[in-house]
Amino acid sequence: MSKSPLRRLTEQIALASMRPPISPQILVNRPAIKPVNLDGKRVLLTGASSGIGEAGAERFARHGATVIAVARRRDLLDAVAERITTAGGKAVSMPCDLSDMDAVDALVADVEKRVGGVDILVNNAGRSIRRPLAESLERWHDVERTMVLNYYAPLRLIRGLGPGMLARGDGHIINVATWGVLSEASPLFSVYNASKAALSAVSRNIETEWGRRGVHSTTLYYPLVATPMIEPTKAYDGMPALTSEEAAEWMVTAARTRPVRIAPRMALAAKALNTVGPRWVDALVQRRRRGDPPKPAPGDVVET
């Protein structure tokens, strides 16, 4: 069924709010005055077997970077690397279970041995939980695994690869978060947002502590992105969302310009409103959520 003109206009407005005001953010927040040439850069990208990570791997390769593609599924990862190399790019697939800290340490050692370290680390892999807080707290294993994949694993990679960047006096760490970290008031996403908020805090302080030593950080506060990660969640059906390709372009923009953050317009507006009038935000959210809380549904917990 075709969409009405009003529906199409509404979706276009929603999508516009999801896109970042790139120029102001780059001009104000970036330490790289001249865009970074990605040709020859070694880029380690987690969650590279599908969605944003897959699209990001292909884009980095088109800019001449050597992509170290990391994910759990070897078959999918090898397929991504093969497409890149067939197109004339450079890619190495390195399967890793990022929930296993020993495996993460082994990955770092293997990367150092095979490619001599990385210039850009993109912490993209993650786990999403969409569930009321009370139910999340009753499923503690989900809480712990979310923190492991969204916070501990990225931190472990930074721990392993950061010293090499500091020794070389150059490096960039790109951390994927969510716009809900800035807006704060995001019902059903308490655990997920908390894990990303922890990563966001570390990401910001990398810039303050390591920036003068040549190692920079960027946090990407993504809105909803149409990826395999959200497909099982029926609540997202029909909702406006960025494409994986659009989201991947944020990664490349971040790598070339090194801003402190890239965030959608709606996140910046929500953060401002939450700062000056948190009770207004509470009232708006509560008004939208009148009625019984949603029942748990398949797809409420998804990993990429």
Domain coordinates in residue numbering, the chain: 13-289
Rounded-to-integer distance, Cα 153 and Cα 101, Å:
7
Q: Who contacts 189 (Cβ-Cβ below 8 Å, separation ≥6)?
A: 129, 130, 178, 180
pLDDT tens column, 187-222:
777 898 899 999 999 999 999 999 999 999 999 999
CATH code linked to domain 13-289: 3.40.50.720
Sorting pLDDT into bands at 50, 70 and 90, what band is 161?
A: very high
- For 218, 227, 268, 279, 286, the CA distances from 276, given in Å and listed in that order, are 26, 34, 13, 9, 18
- The pLDDT assigned to 132 comes to 84
- CA-closest candidate to residue 83, choices 52, 49, 114, 109: 49
Give 54's Cβ-side CA count (13 Å radius).
Answer: 18
User: Mean of the per-residue pLDDT values for the chain?
Assistant: 84
pLDDT single digits (tens) 38-73: 999 999 999 999 999 999 999 999 999 999 999 999
Residues 239-260 have pLDDT tens digits of: 667 899 999 999 999 999 999 9
Residue with tokens 């276009």: 12
H or E element at residue 126: none
User: How would you write 175-241 as a 3-class SS string?
Assistant: EEEECHHHHCCCCCCHHHHHHHHHHHHHHHHHHHHHHHHCEEEEEEEECCEECCCCCCCHHHCCCCC
Total length of the chain: 304
3-state secondary structure of 121: strand
Catalytic residues: 192
Q: Would you state the structure tokens that stand for residue 89, as one six-digit string?
A: 């790019």
The token pair that represents 22 in the structure block: 């790139």
* pTM of the predicted structure, to 2 decimals: 0.83
Listed residue (138, 234, 226) closest to 190, CA to CA = 138
pLDDT of residue 291: 47
Distances (CA, A) of 237 to 5, 225, 233, 292: 19, 12, 8, 20
The pLDDT value given to residue 90: 98
Give the pLDDT confidence score for residue 121 in this predicted structure. Answer: 99
